[in-house]
């Protein structure tokens, strides 16, 4: 140890993010896991298809000039009476199903991811506060979560969306549908996150590293967000994957009930 | 005891510069924990009417002591006697139910977080479990640099790095290990890192809550010696919580023996080990296994430690004490200074019945 502190500090130059990622355990285990690679490839495929929908879709389902009601309900290519213009056939409006699916994926993914981000934001905020401060704040917030949880997502969504549609008219609703869906699905399911976060915070906050941070004089907010939250991330990731799928299914069932995206949008 | 002798053989006793200046003063500290649960748990139907039933664990019952600058005050006692509660209350992790804690004459137990901040730099803590006391999601460098940044916002990134690597070297951790995460280290290394974390803010008073009891025996001596070396180099004062009497004899300048939330004897280490005065201390010391004695004369105490929920009246030790008299059952003894400067809380001692 003959080096001066300055020299040692020089040796400790922090590697760039890319270098760190390249050497990381994450990438290494990803490369070894074939299931993960296939799943990731599929996921990328969907995202690419959604993003490049305007480029690869044969028709634009938003363009009324391209839609002919006379083309409605044509079966897919491999069945009789098919039309070679429409690979997967058309729907009751005469829109090409392949194009509708490609454009629809965009909306589904958008709603899924955004609604989950909203759920996550509200849930983490409430769960972290409830778990860290405990006592009355905890009781109050968790009863709030229980109330929210006692209404099923579907019911909340149907009531809110139906009232909104009745109050402001179908036209305004058509414009705001996507935001309303994100908002409703996001708000209806936050207790899932809040409860998970609270549970992990409760087990983490008694660990000595939290005490050590308190002894250092760090403020509660800093301890909550930079010390405890990173340690609650793994269960959060697990429920997030399920919740994205849930949100997409909720959106689909609401559309089925006539309360989701308007008919004019895929 | 065997352990102590080998440790002493390896390492000469560090000379300490203990001054008369009082650094930390704890005065008639009480801490009780409410265990009665929420409102519905407390409601009780008894004798035809409803009443609220509250229960407390009396963890600390009137503990007073001074920590002199430069010394290592050890607190010993069996599990559940309130040692750790004292440590955590002194550090402000728990707030006392009554009593006061002062640092250099300033009361610190009733300060706001902001007002407490300057004292956070002066007082630091080392924890028992090195596997839980480091944040698993932070690299060692992050863990060590954060407090320096926080308490010294005027330092540049380079100066912070220099200070951290200097501290890491002084505790025997290679600064180039800083990019690793805590799970890549062994228990002893982690405890060194915890010590380094406490040292980064350059404190003068360190509370160590059983810092070596979670470590392998072969590592205990290393960490203990490291703590003694740092004490000498950085002029630290320790409040050392332990249940290991061999460690106390090796490490402490003074010892406080705790039983059921009270201090029963407080004396210089040498005085306490050569002439224990309180009946509990005598029993405790007689329980140390000795090699040179094949006819052990342990003092066998009768019964169990009473529950801290229903404290016994009078002296907390009276039910198990061979010298208990009526006064012991009714009056709580106070710490009384003896001729050899040791302080003993015992009526029998005061009356000369021992």
Interface of B with A in 276-335 (CB under 8 A): none
CATH 3.40.50.620 is the classification of domain B2-43+53-259 = no
Transcribe B65-82 into DSSP letters: EEEETT-EEEEE--TTSS
Quote the CA–CA distance of B99 and B199 in Å, as a whole number.
Answer: 29
Asked whether the beta carbons of residue A1 and residue B169 sit closer than 8 angstroms, the reply is: yes
Q: What is the largest CA-CA distance in chain A?
A: 86
The pLDDT value recorded for residue B250 is 87
Asked whether the beta carbons of residue B194 and residue A6 sit closer than 8 angstroms, the reply is: no
The pLDDT value recorded for residue A147 is 92
Looking at the partner chain, which of B120, B127, B161 has a beta carbon nearest the beta carbon of A9?
Answer: B161
The pLDDT value recorded for residue A56 is 79
Average pLDDT over residues A206-215: 91
- Spell out a b/e string for B249-280, using b for 16 or more CB atoms within 10 Å of the CB, else e: bbbbbbbbbbbbbbbbbbbbbebbbeebbbbb
Taking CB atoms and an 8 Å cutoff, what residues of chain B touch A219?
113
Reported ipTM exceeds the 0.95 cut: no
**HEC profile of A80-117:** CCCCCCCCCCECCCCCEHHHHHHHHHHHHHHHHHHHHH
The pLDDT value recorded for residue A166 is 86
Q: What is the largest CA-CA distance in chain B?
A: 73
For chain A, give the mean pLDDT. Answer: 82
**To 5 degrees, how large is the angle CA A252–CA A255–CA A256?**
85
Asked whether the beta carbons of residue A9 and residue B176 sit closer than 8 angstroms, the reply is: no
Quote the CA–CA distance of B310 and B319 in Å, as a whole number.
Answer: 13
Q: State the best of A3, A4, A9 to mutate against chain B, taking most chain B CBs within 10 Å.
A: A9
B158 shares contact with chain A (CB less than 8 Å): yes
Asked whether the beta carbons of B323 and B353 are under 8 A apart, the reply is yes
The pLDDT value recorded for residue B296 is 65
The pLDDT value recorded for residue A196 is 92
Smallest CA–CA distance, residue B49 to chain A, in Å, is 28
The pLDDT value recorded for residue B58 is 92
The pLDDT value recorded for residue B66 is 92
What are the residue ranges in chain B where pLDDT is below 70? 1-17, 293-296
Asked whether the beta carbons of A103 and A62 are under 8 A apart, the reply is yes
The pLDDT value recorded for residue A15 is 61
The pLDDT value recorded for residue B3 is 46
| Statement: residue A3 has pLDDT above 50 | no
The two tokens of residue B56 are 């407390």
Range in A89-103, A204-218, B88-102 the model is least confident about: A89-103
B162 shares contact with chain A (CB less than 8 Å): yes
Taking CB atoms and an 8 Å cutoff, what residues of chain B touch A211?
88, 93, 125, 127, 133
For A10-41, the pLDDT digits (tens) are 444 556 777 777 777 778 888 888 898 999 99
Is pLDDT larger for residue A4 or for residue B153?
B153
For B202-233, the pLDDT digits (tens) are 999 999 999 988 888 888 888 999 999 999 99
For B316-336, the pLDDT digits (tens) are 998 888 888 888 888 899 898
A2 confidence band (pLDDT: 50, 70, 90):
very low
- Residue given tokens 């509708």 in the structure block: A100
In order of their start, the domains of chain A are 109-256 (1.10.3720.10)
Taking CB atoms and an 8 Å cutoff, what residues of chain B touch A9?
158, 161-162, 165, 175
Quote the CA–CA distance of B71 and A145 in Å, as a whole number.
Answer: 52
Quote the CA–CA distance of B208 and B7 in Å, as a whole number.
Answer: 20
Taking CB atoms and an 8 Å cutoff, what residues of chain A touch B150?
216-218
The pLDDT value recorded for residue B38 is 76
B150 shares contact with chain A (CB less than 8 Å): yes
Quote the CA–CA distance of B178 and B164 in Å, as a whole number.
Answer: 10
| Statement: residue A236 has pLDDT above 50 | yes
pTM, full prediction: 0.80
Q: State the best of B93, B116, B165 to mutate against chain A, taking most chain A CBs within 10 Å.
A: B165
Quote the CA–CA distance of B229 and A245 in Å, as a whole number.
Answer: 58
Query: 3-class DSSP state for residue B299?
Result: coil
Looking at the partner chain, which of A208, A213, A216 has a beta carbon nearest the beta carbon of B132?
Answer: A208
The torsion angles phi and psi of B64, rounded to 5 degrees, stand at -130, 130
């Amino acid at each position: 140890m003959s080096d001066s502190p300055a020299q040692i500090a020089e040796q400790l130059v922090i590697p760039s993010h890319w270098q760190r990622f390249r050497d990381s355990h994450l990438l290494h285990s990803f490369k070894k896991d074939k299931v993960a690679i296939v799943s990731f490839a599929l996921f990328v495929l969907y995202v690419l298809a959604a993003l490049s929908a305007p480029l690869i879709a044969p028709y634009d389902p938003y363009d009324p000039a391209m839609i002919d009601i006379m083309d409605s309900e044509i079966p897919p290519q491999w069945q009789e009476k098919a039309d070679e213009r429409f690979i997967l056939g058309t729907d009751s409006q005469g829109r090409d199903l392949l194009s509708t699916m490609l454009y629809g994926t965009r909306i589904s993914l958008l709603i899924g991811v955004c609604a989950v981000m909203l759920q996550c934001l509200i849930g983490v905020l409430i769960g972290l506060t409830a778990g860290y401060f405990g006592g009355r704040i905890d009781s109050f917030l968790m009863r709030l979560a229980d109330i929210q949880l006692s209404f099923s997502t579907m019911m909340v969504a149907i009531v809110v969306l139906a009232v909104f549609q009745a109050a402001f008219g179908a036209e305004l609703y058509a414009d705001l549908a996507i935001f309303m869906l994100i908002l409703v699905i996001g708000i209806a399911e936050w207790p899932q996150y809040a409860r998970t976060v609270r549970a992990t915070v409760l087990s983490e906050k008694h660990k000595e590293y939290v005490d050590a941070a308190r002894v250092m004089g760090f403020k509660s907010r800093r301890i909550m967000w930079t010390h405890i939250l990173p340690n609650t991330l793994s269960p959060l990731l697990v429920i997030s994957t399920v919740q994205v799928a849930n949100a997409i299914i909720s959106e689909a069932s609401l559309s089925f009930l006539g309360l989701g995206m308007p008919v004019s949008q895929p | 005891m065997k352990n102590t002798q080998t440790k002493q053989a390896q390492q000469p006793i560090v000379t300490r510069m203990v001054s008369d200046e009082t650094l930390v003063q704890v005065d008639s500290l009480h801490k009780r924990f409410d265990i009665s649960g929420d409102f519905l748990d407390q409601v009780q139907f008894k004798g035809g009417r409803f009443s609220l039933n509250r229960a407390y664990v009396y963890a600390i019952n009137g503990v007073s002591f001074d920590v002199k600058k430069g010394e290592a005050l050890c607190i010993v006692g069996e599990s559940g006697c309130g040692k750790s509660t004292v440590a955590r209350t002194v550090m402000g992790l728990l707030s006392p139910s009554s009593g006061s804690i002062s640092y250099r004459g300033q009361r610190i137990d009733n300060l706001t977080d902001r007002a407490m901040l300057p004292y956070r730099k002066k007082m630091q803590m080392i924890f028992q479990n090195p596997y839980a006391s480091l944040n698993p999601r932070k690299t060692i460098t992050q863990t060590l640099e954060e407090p320096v940044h926080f308490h010294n916002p005027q330092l540049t990134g380079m100066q912070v790095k220099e200070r951290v690597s200097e501290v890491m070297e002084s505790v025997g951790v290679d600064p180039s290990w800083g990019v690793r995460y805590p799970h890549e280290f062994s228990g002893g290394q982690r405890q060194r890192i915890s010590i380094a974390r406490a040292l980064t803010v350059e404190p003068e008073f360190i509370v160590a809550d059983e810092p070596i009891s979670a470590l392998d025996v072969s590592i205990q001596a290393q960490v203990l010696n490291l703590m003694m070396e740092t004490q000498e180099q950085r002029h630290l004062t320790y409040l050392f919580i332990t249940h290991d009497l061999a460690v106390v004899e090796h490490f402490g300048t003074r010892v406080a023996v705790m039983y059921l939330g009270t201090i029963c004897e407080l004396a210089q280490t040498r005085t306490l080990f050569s002439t224990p005065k309180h009946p509990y201390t005598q029993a405790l010391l007689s329980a140390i296994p000795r090699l040179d004695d094949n006819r052990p004369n342990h003092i066998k105490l009768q019964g169990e430690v009473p529950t801290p929920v229903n404290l016994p009246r009078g002296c907390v030790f009276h039910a198990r004490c061979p010298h208990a008299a009526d006064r012991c059952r009714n009056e709580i003894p106070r710490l009384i200074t003896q001729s050899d400067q040791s302080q003993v809380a015992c009526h029998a001692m005061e009356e000369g019945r021992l």
